[in-house]
Structure 1
Amino acid sequence: MDRAAAVLFADAAEAAGVRRFVVVSAMGADREPPAGTDPVFAAYLRAKGAADAEVRSRPGLDWTVLRPGRLTDEPGTGLVALGTSTGRGDVTRDDVAAVLVALLDEPRTAGGTLELIGGTVPVDEAVRAAAEG
């Protein structure tokens, strides 16, 4: 979802009285892309960063920003690494979806930005640890 769509979605959540809001972002969206980055991907990262900033600025939302690593189509493992900084790595789309569901049910992650890659910790345990972190 690009910046404009994320803003519209946040507007709709606030208008509907929905407080819990989880954004799927991208690793590297919080800084300028390195020199030599493909221009299309650089624009994507900048848009993700702008969307993240817009969502973070809304006091009416209990937001969490999730920044997964490189997405793969393999079946999910249910095992991840989740934290404020994980380093680069791959993660299955299935595992991203499982983490999103778990984050929605864990309000203590509100106000945080988390990175996600494949790992060795079960999803529920990883989300609980991030919330306590």
Structure 2
Amino acid sequence: MSANTLIFGGSGKVARQITRMLAAEGHNVYSMIRNAEQKSDIEGIGGKPVVQSIKDSSVDDMAKTIADVGASTVIWSAGAGGKGGLDRTQAVDKDGAIRSMDATAKAGVKRYIIVSAVDVRDKENKPEPEWYNDEDRDRSNKVRSALGFYMECKFAADKSLVTDNGRRGLEYTIVRPGGLSDDPAKGAIEAGKVHLNQVISREDVASVVVECMKQGATKGLAFDCVGGDTPITDVIAKVAKDRIDTFKGRC
């Protein structure tokens, strides 16, 4: 049975994999891109391109697009990735993401999935995850030294998704992958309370997002995922069953 999905940040590597997977399952995948020259690429993987700038779109603009395509699920997979300067990072990773949440609610859509990152948290004021070891602390510090402002923007967006959901009423999931690679998918990961140094392929991250769409019990959760040896379907089912939330108490 087909469903309509809108992906913000459709030109990204994870988003393209999500598009390909969902289209292969018969979904109508609307992919928001800002560069019209990418339309043929999106169409080539089964997506339906929507040319629209996240940075320049208001909440009303986004809500209209969500409604126009008849989306039943909205996926945020956009991000400046720490590139293009601080202004662009804030405009996309924080402000754009928050507007997309408000727009999803305004359009009357419930299901919202955001691709975030491991270790996004209030590091200064909230306790460190109790499962972290010295290697995790070292990686956490190194990432913040290189991408501190990016992590702050991701945190602000994720925090808004959780703490402002009383007024939005979204059925959200926050997928928090570790370091990303372009390696072929393994179809296996570790998820929940994981360590930070293991990378995960972008294709496997896409599979996690698609699995979250299928497993409704992931609604209301934020969980980490890295490369591993447990089949994706099984590990996501366990995260959902055990209600593992790695952002809870850290925002």
Q: Residue 58 of structure 1 corresponds to which residue in structure 2?
A: 165
Cα distance in 2 for residues equivalent to 1:62 and 1:87: 27
Which secondary structure state, in structure 2, belongs to the residue aligned with residue 34 of structure 1?
helix
More strand by share: 1
Q: CA deviation at 1:35?
A: 7.9
Deviation per residue, 1:59-112 (Å, 9 max, x gap): 3111111110000001111001011x1111100000000000111222211111
Q: Which residue of 2 aligns with 1:80?
A: 189
How far did 1:24 drift? 1.1
Larger mean Cα displacement after TM superposition, 103-112 or 69-78: 103-112
Once the two structures are TM-superposed, the CA of residue 36 in structure 1 deviates from its matched residue by: 8.7
Instruction: Identify the match of residue 117 of structure 2 among 26, 35, 43.
Output: 26
Where 2:165 maps in the other structure, the secondary structure is coil
Instruction: From the superposition, tell whether residues 111 and 36 of structure 1 become closer, same or farther in structure 2 (CA, over 3 Å).
Output: closer
Alpha-carbon spacing, 1:36–1:53, altered in 2? closer, same or farther (3 Å) = closer
Aligned to 1:13: 104
Which amino acid counterpart does residue 54 of structure 1 have in structure 2?
Answer: S
Is 1:131 the equivalent of 2:240? yes
Q: Percent of aligned positions with the same letter in both sequences?
A: 30
- Aligned position for 1:43: 149
Gaps of 5+ in 2: 1-78, 80-92, 124-139, 243-251
Structure 1 residue ranges without an equivalent (≥5): none
User: What letter is aligned with 2:145?
Assistant: D
Question: Who is 2:229 aligned against?
Answer: 120
Find the structure with the greater CA-based Rg: 2
Query: TM-score w.r.t. structure 1 length?
Result: 0.90
Equivalent residues of 2:144, 2:151 under 8 A apart = no
In structure 2, distance between residues paired with 1:52 and 1:21: 12
> How many residues are matched?
131
